């Protein structure tokens, strides 16, 4: 059985798993925060909005390839193990960040500049699509049964920490360098740091051991990671997972890219970055308590309550957003609260409805598709809606996706109850299997 106090090797394995979320969040928010600065460097135009639309289009394409990552890396995690998929995902992430940091501007290499930016975001989009499902499968397979939401809160904690670090760095750089140097070269610094952090994590992940559950139940099975079997035998689970993650796809694309970018245009330079610092710092203190609460009252109840609350507060805050610190904090903070609650409980909810042999693929495919379809069109859609006085219709669509958690919560018990996999050896409950540790 799991020990009362996790061993150091277990803690290192958990850290190496969740830190990928930190780097993804750091990079993703950094792109949204700094897009107004580097947009004209890659997409020169007399209209700054046109340049920003070009930067957001690249962002959208990067998101649209997430299903490829969800399928390829999710299948890789089910067929070859969680560890190899985690190593591949962070390699793509680090490479993309370094490429963005080092690519010359359009003035220096012409059309090659936006093409290299597109290549970098495509690699990162594939990484984003496969990182979370592989990490989720790994973490939930080593977590004690009664603490799965608490372990899931570590994903939220690392996500908030990544956003906090990116915005804090952005605010500090803006204050220290000023608008001119920031637009010239300062925006490259966060991507360079993200790439270096990715390389460090790559080294750490090479020391991960495979989870005991995967080795016992899946490693020798021929049908592991089968996309055909997933879509045929687990249709209800796929539908349930799709409804669960629709909200995070829509809100993620809006609140981590659109709100920071629009806030940056409405407020004085650096204000939006300090708003993100304040909101994420506050939520970092609440991440683990939210996970403990979810383990106590139930993951589904917490997600439904958070979705209903955000459908109201998120709509009002988005439509009334101005350039003041208080308004931006209300707007951005409402989205952060929802995303923290959702990302805390979704790892448990999603892994519960899929068997081990298709778990990473089952978690990854719906999440990547919703991120691509809803998150990918959000930046360009929100910008277009703002220009045509249609923001109310846009935010209504976002909140409709958020409220899909309600029918998902009704489908989840039946999906979980369905027979999914071969039981562990007699006398050994799944949660009593040894925890994975690090090793060469």
How much is the pLDDT for 282? Answer: 92
At residue 117, φ and ψ (nearest 5 deg) are -60, -40
* CA angle, residues 363, 97, 373, in degrees to nearest 5: 40
Are 86 and 205 in contact, with CB atoms under 8 Å apart?
A: yes
CA dist., res. 131 & res. 116, Å (int): 22
Instruction: Report in angstroms the alpha-carbon separations of 237 from 222, 362, 419.
Output: 21, 8, 11
pTM of structure: 0.79
DSSP string, 329-362: HHHHHHHHHHHHHHHHHHHHHHHHTS-GGGHHHH
Helical packing angle, 66-80 and 48-64, nearest 10° = 30
DSSP string, 409-436: HHHHHHHHHS--SPPPSTT--GGGSPPP
Cβ-Cβ contacts under 8 Å for 269 (sequence gap 6 or more): 174, 179
At residue 208, φ and ψ (nearest 5 deg) are -70, 145
Of 249, 294, 329, which is closest to residue 154 (Cα–Cα)?
Answer: 294
At residue 207, φ and ψ (nearest 5 deg) are -95, 5
How much is the pLDDT for 296? Answer: 94
CA dist., res. 293 & res. 150, Å (int): 8
CA dist., res. 356 & res. 359, Å (int): 5
Copy the structure tokens of residue 153: 């809160």
Give the SS3 label for residue 202.
Answer: helix
How much is the pLDDT for 427? Answer: 38
Of 110, 106, 154, 125, which is closest to residue 57 (Cα–Cα)?
Answer: 125
**Dihedral of alpha carbons 35, 36, 38, 43, sign:** positive
How much is the pLDDT for 271? Answer: 87
Q: Per residue of the chain (440 residues), what is the pLDDT tens digit?
A: 444 445 557 788 888 888 888 998 888 778 877 877 777 778 776 666 667 777 777 877 777 888 898 889 988 998 888 999 999 999 999 999 999 999 888 888 888 988 898 899 899 889 988 888 899 999 999 888 889 999 999 988 998 888 888 888 888 888 888 878 888 888 889 899 999 999 999 998 988 888 888 888 776 666 677 888 888 888 999 999 999 999 999 998 888 778 887 888 888 877 887 898 899 889 989 999 999 999 999 999 999 999 999 999 999 999 999 999 999 999 999 999 999 999 999 999 999 999 888 899 999 889 888 888 887 788 778 878 888 888 899 999 999 999 999 999 998 876 664 444 443 443 334 333 334 433 33
How much is the pLDDT for 430? Answer: 39
CA dist., res. 251 & res. 317, Å (int): 13
Are 162 and 25 in contact, with CB atoms under 8 Å apart?
A: yes
CA dist., res. 112 & res. 225, Å (int): 37
CA dist., res. 282 & res. 336, Å (int): 10
Copy the structure tokens of residue 409: 């919560």
CA dist., res. 399 & res. 279, Å (int): 21
CA dist., res. 293 & res. 287, Å (int): 10
How much is the pLDDT for 199? Answer: 94
Which strand (E) or helix (H) includes residue 80? helix 66-80
Are 130 and 88 in contact, with CB atoms under 8 Å apart?
A: yes
CA dist., res. 188 & res. 191, Å (int): 6
Of 82, 115, 168, which is closest to residue 359 (Cα–Cα)?
Answer: 82
């Amino acid at each position: 059985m799991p020990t009362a106090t996790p061993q150091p090797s277990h803690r290192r394995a958990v850290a190496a798993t969740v830190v990928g979320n930190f780097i993804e969040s750091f990079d993703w928010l950094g792109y949204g925060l700094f897009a107004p600065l580097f947009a004209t460097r890659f997409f020169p135009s007399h209209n700054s909005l046109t340049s920003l639309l070009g930067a957001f289009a690249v962002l959208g394409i990067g998101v649209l390839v997430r299903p490829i990552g969800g399928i390829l890396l999710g299948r890789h995690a089910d067929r070859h193990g969680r560890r190899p998929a985690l190593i591949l995902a962070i390699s793509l992430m680090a490479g993309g960040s370094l490429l963005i940091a080092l690519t010359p501007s359009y003035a220096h290499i012409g059309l090659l500049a936006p093409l290299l930016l597109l290549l970098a975001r495509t690699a990162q989009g594939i990484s984003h699509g496969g990182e979370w499902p592989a990490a989720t499968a790994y973490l939930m397979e080593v977590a004690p049964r009664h603490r799965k939401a608490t372990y899931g809160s570590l994903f939220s904690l690392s996500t908030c920490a990544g956003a906090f670090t990116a915005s804090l760095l952005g605010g500090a750089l803006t204050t220290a360098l000023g608008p001119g140097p920031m637009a010239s070269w300062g925006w490259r610094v966060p991507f360079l740091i993200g790439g270096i952090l990715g390389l460090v994590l790559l080294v750490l992940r090479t020391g991960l051991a495979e989870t005991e559950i995967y080795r016992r139940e899946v490693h020798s099975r021929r049908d592991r990671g089968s996309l055909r079997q997933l879509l045929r035998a687990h249709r209800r689970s796929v539908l349930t997972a799709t409804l669960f993650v629709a909200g995070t796809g829509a809100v993620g694309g809006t609140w981590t890219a659109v709100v920071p970018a629009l806030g940056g245009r409405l407020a004085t330079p650096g204000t939006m970055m300090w708003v993100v610092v304040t909101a994420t710092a506050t939520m970092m203190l609440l991440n683990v308590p939210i996970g403990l609460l979810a383990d106590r009252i139930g993951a589904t109840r917490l997600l439904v309550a958070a979705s209903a609350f955000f459908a109201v507060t998120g709509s009002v805050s988005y439509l009334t957003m101005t350039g003041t610190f208080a308004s931006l904090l209300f707007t951005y903070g409402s989205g952060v609260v929802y995303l923290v609650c959702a990302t805390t409980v979704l790892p448990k909810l999603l892994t519960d409805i899929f068997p081990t042999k298709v778990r990473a693929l089952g978690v990854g495919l719906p999440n990547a598709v919703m991120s691509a379809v809803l998150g990918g069109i959000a930046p360009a859609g929100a910008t277009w809606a703002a220009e045509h006085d249609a923001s109310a219709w846009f935010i209504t669509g976002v909140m409709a996706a958020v409220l899909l958690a309600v029918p998902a919560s009704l489908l989840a018990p039946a999906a979980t109850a369905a027979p999914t996999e071969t039981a562990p050896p007699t006398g050994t409950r799944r949660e009593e299997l040894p925890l994975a540790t690090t090793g060469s």
